[in-house]
Amino acid sequence: MRHTKTLERLKESGYRLTPQRVMVLAALAARPGHIGVDEIYRQVYEGYPYIDVATVYRTLQLLKNLHMVTELDVGGTTRYELIEADRHHHMVCRGCGNAFDFSPTYLVEFRQRLTQEFGFQPDLEHFAIGGLCSRCAESL
Amino acid sequence: MRHTKTLERLKESGYRLTPQRVMVLAALAARPGHIGVDEIYRQVYEGYPYIDVATVYRTLQLLKNLHMVTELDVGGTTRYELIEADRHHHMVCRGCGNAFDFSPTYLVEFRQRLTQEFGFQPDLEHFAIGGLCSRCAESL
DNA sequence: TGGCTTATTGCAACCGTTTGCAGTTGTGAT
DNA sequence: ATCACAACTGCAAACGGTTGCAATAAGCCA
């Protein structure tokens, strides 16, 4: 169970461990990578047809605030991913829609300059950048 | 008229110069800075009550694709801005919601590394980053 | 175990944005 | 000036996501 620790953390944070939340987390854990709300909803629905989309959205919102999932905009559709130990950022290709990872070290210089020169503290935890991957760039 | 050139460019690109489009551009030009769809809609409505929100959205989408406006997400609400000669990026404060500008030079190192090491070509034209401005950071 | 409190849920209505469609209108050619 | 045609519009319906509310149930304590 990849999400057992996440469940414990939820409880420790003072939130209730409802079946709906467990099932949403199970759905997130079942499929590695970025998964859409509709997929989560469908999977939970299989085991519990009384589930409401609103609950799925509220759960995802909660998990996002607790930094347990990342919200990621992939070509117009919002997708979610369980946060694992190894933090990374995303490059989302506007050609094929795939998401690639890159290390936070790529942004340290950028962050430093904004902080030093403007006193601005950028949110870079869940940072994603659009663009064109090498394969799609070739096939143009 | 700050947007006369934009109008000409629209026509040159093969798009029709409809009254609705002219009025949307006028609304964008009337107020400097970032402006919301509702404000644009209301202002156009004053002079032409048959205008539909869908038309406003479609026009903004078109102008965005032609790189004549920037779309900017300021604390959950989407805002638009006419692109003028001096390009800049945005820092959006999650405390006060204000948007500050910074020069594209801040991102050259970041872009170079992504391109060289992954072959990924990031879209940085209309780049915005969330965070906390110095004033809001102080008052915490 | 049972009862209390309050977070959480399902429902339905809502919001901002997008889309299909049939009618309209800008534009370029005649 | 008129015509023809595709681009464009307004409308209404749809979409993804959010919110207010009354009913439910998780967690805690006795």
CATH of residue A104's domain is 3.30.1490.190
Report CB contact under 8 Å: A118, B129: no
Report CB contact under 8 Å: B120, A134: yes
Q: Which nucleotides of D are covered by protein (CB under 7 A)?
A: 7-13, 16-20, 25-27
CA dihedral angle for residue B73, residue B76, residue B78, residue B82, rounded to 10 degrees: -40
pLDDT of residue A85: 60
Q: Which residue in A has a C-alpha nearest to residue B129's C-alpha?
A: A122
**Residues A10, A68 within the same domain:** yes
| Interior angle at CA B104, CA B7 and CA A71, nearest 5 | 90
Residues of A within an 8 Å Cβ radius of B: 91, 93-94, 100, 102, 106-107, 109-110, 113-114, 118-124, 127, 129-134, 137
pLDDT in tens, A11-49: 889 999 999 999 999 999 998 778 999 999 999 999 999
Question: For residue A3, what are its two tokens?
Answer: 């999400």
Residue B54: pLDDT band by 50, 70, 90 thresholds? very high
Residues of B in contact with A131 (CB under 8 A): 114, 120-123
Enumerate the H helices of chain B as residue ranges. 4-12, 19-30, 37-47, 53-65, 108-118, 134-138
Domain assignment of residue A36, given as a range = 4-82
**Which of A94, A102, A137 comes nearest B123 by C-beta?**
A94
Domain tally for chain B? 2
* C-alpha to C-alpha distance for B126 and B112, rounded to whole angstroms: 17
- CATH number of domain containing B37: 1.10.10.10
Question: What is the percent of chain A with per-residue pLDDT over 90, rounded to a whole number?
Answer: 36
Q: Which residue in B has a C-alpha nearest to residue A126's C-alpha?
A: B130
Is residue A31 helix, strand or coil?
Answer: coil
Residue B140: pLDDT band by 50, 70, 90 thresholds? low
B69-74, strands of its sheet edge to edge: B35-36, B77-82, B69-74
- Give A70 or B48, the one with higher predicted confidence: B48
pLDDT of residue B40: 97
User: Minimal CA–CA distance to A111: which of B125, B118, B126, B131?
Assistant: B131
Averaged pLDDT of chain B: 86
| A96-123 b/e (C-beta count within 10 Å ≥ 16 → b) | eebbbebeeebbeebbebbeeebebbbe
pLDDT of residue A58: 98
pLDDT at position A109 over 80: yes
**Which of A109, A113, A137 comes nearest B121 by C-beta?**
A137
**Could you say which of B82, B105, B124 is where a domain stops?**
B82
pLDDT at position B110 over 80: yes
Beta bridge partners of A100: A91
